[in-house]
């Protein structure tokens, strides 16, 4: 074989190898952009827990401090900073105050279903309990509704770039684009950037609640966010 033919063979092999690598990267990006986390709620598999949660949701809806605090375990884990216990929980959330964020936060957690770790422990929401480990929890969010509109700008009247359902998407961060309250910047279809309503995009490390059956009844033993 001539030197030219030999080099030509190497060149073709290199091109084919590069094309193969690019194709694999393309498939990876495409697969990531199509990844979904569908809603899961196992509460109905345990009627006793299902009834308990329904009663708790009703108490949260009417801002019933006594009813909600009655299900908070005395040693509840309320933060990663050591502020544990029911007294710390009261200080953090101020449930008796009119502007307490507890009601909206807990309502959102309870509304998003969850899964049982075993017959004595339930974890909510599903966006935490069923998060696929291959996606960085700090770098992604999941859309928690069907037909979520991804918009060109963080405005309700901005052009719609795409519509996705229950998709796991990378968070888009930019030094030149400040964050806009109520909107989450995401990337989709590889490199494209858009905005979704923050009410419809949830981080897996947002607030979650653990419920455990203790002393013959269900109690909330953990309620926190972060990692």
Distance CA(27)–CA(33), nearest Å, equals 10
The structure tokens 């796991």 sit at 168
> Of 8-17, 20-29, 109-118, 191-200, which gets the smallest average pLDDT?
20-29
Same domain, yes or no, for 122 and 28?
A: no
Confidence of residue 121 (pLDDT cuts 50, 70, 90): very high
Same domain, yes or no, for 122 and 50?
A: yes
pLDDT at 34 over 80: no
Three-state SS at 143 = strand
> Of 4-13, 121-130, 156-165, 194-203, which gets the smallest average pLDDT?
4-13
Distance CA(28)–CA(35), nearest Å, equals 10
What is the DSSP secondary structure assignment for residue 159, as one 8-state letter? P
Same domain, yes or no, for 122 and 168?
A: no
The CATH number given to whatever domain includes residue 87 is: 3.10.450
User: Which residue has better confidence, 33 or 97?
Assistant: 97
Neighbour-count burial of 196, counting CB atoms closer than 10 A to its CB (0-12 exposed, 13-18 middle, 19+ buried): buried
Q: Would residue 2 count as lying in a domain?
A: yes
Same domain, yes or no, for 54 and 82?
A: yes
Distance CA(220)–CA(208), nearest Å, equals 11
The structure tokens 């933060």 sit at 79
pLDDT at 24: 40
**Contact yes or no for 186/193 (Cβ under 8 A):** yes
What digits encode the pLDDT tens for the residues 67-83? Answer: 999 999 999 999 988 88
Same domain, yes or no, for 49 and 8?
A: no
Q: How many domains is the chain built from?
A: 3
* Average pLDDT for the chain: 88
| Strand 140-143 with 217-224, pairing | unpaired
pLDDT over 90 for what percent of the chain? 78
Residue 134 vs residues 75, 149, 176, 201: alpha-carbon distances, Å: 33, 25, 29, 19
Same domain, yes or no, for 76 and 184?
A: no
pLDDT at 1 over 80: no
Q: Would residue 67 count as lying in a domain?
A: yes
Distance CA(50)–CA(176), nearest Å, equals 47
Three-state SS at 191 = coil
Q: Is the bond leading into 125 cis (omega within 30 degrees of zero)? A: yes
Same domain, yes or no, for 6 and 93?
A: no
Same domain, yes or no, for 153 and 60?
A: no
H runs (alpha helix) in 166-226:
none
pLDDT at 124: 98
pLDDT at 117 over 70: yes
Distance CA(106)–CA(104), nearest Å, equals 6
Same domain, yes or no, for 185 and 209?
A: no
How many Å separate Cα 129 from the centre of its chain? 9
Confidence of residue 3 (pLDDT cuts 50, 70, 90): very low
Q: Domain residues for 57? A: 43-131+204-224
Q: Give me the mean pLDDT over the 139-161 stretch.
A: 97
Same domain, yes or no, for 65 and 114?
A: yes
pLDDT at 40: 98
Q: Which of 135, 108, 131 is nearest to 209 (CA)?
A: 108
pLDDT at 129: 98
pLDDT at 100 over 70: yes
Same domain, yes or no, for 24 and 52?
A: no
Q: Would residue 38 count as lying in a domain?
A: no
The structure tokens 């690019």 sit at 22
Same domain, yes or no, for 114 and 197?
A: no
Q: Would residue 170 count as lying in a domain?
A: yes
């Amino acid at each position: 074989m001539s030197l030219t033919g030999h080099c030509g063979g190497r060149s073709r092999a290199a091109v084919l190898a590069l094309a193969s690598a690019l194709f694999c990267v393309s498939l990876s990006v495409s697969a990531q952009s199509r990844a979904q986390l569908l809603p899961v709620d196992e509460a109905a598999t345990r009627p006793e827990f299902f009834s308990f949660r329904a009663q708790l949701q009703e108490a949260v809806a009417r801002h019933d401090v006594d009813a909600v605090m009655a299900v908070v375990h005395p040693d509840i884990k309320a933060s990663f900073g050591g502020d544990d216990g029911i007294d710390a929980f009261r200080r953090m959330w101020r449930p008796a105050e009119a502007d307490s964020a507890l009601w909206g936060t807990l309502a959102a957690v309870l509304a998003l279903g969850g899964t049982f770790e075993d017959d004595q422990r339930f974890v909510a929401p599903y966006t935490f309990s069923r998060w696929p480990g291959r996606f960085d929890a700090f770098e992604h969010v999941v859309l928690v509704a069907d037909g979520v509109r991804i918009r060109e700008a963080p405005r309700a009247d901005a052009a719609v770039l795409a519509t996705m359902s229950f998709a796991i998407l990378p968070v888009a961060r930019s030094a030149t684009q400040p964050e806009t309250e109520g909107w989450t910047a995401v990337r989709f279809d590889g490199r494209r950037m858009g905005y979704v309503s923050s009410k419809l995009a949830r981080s897996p490390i947002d607030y979650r609640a653990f419920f455990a059956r203790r002393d013959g009844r269900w109690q909330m033993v953990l309620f926190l966010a972060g990692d």
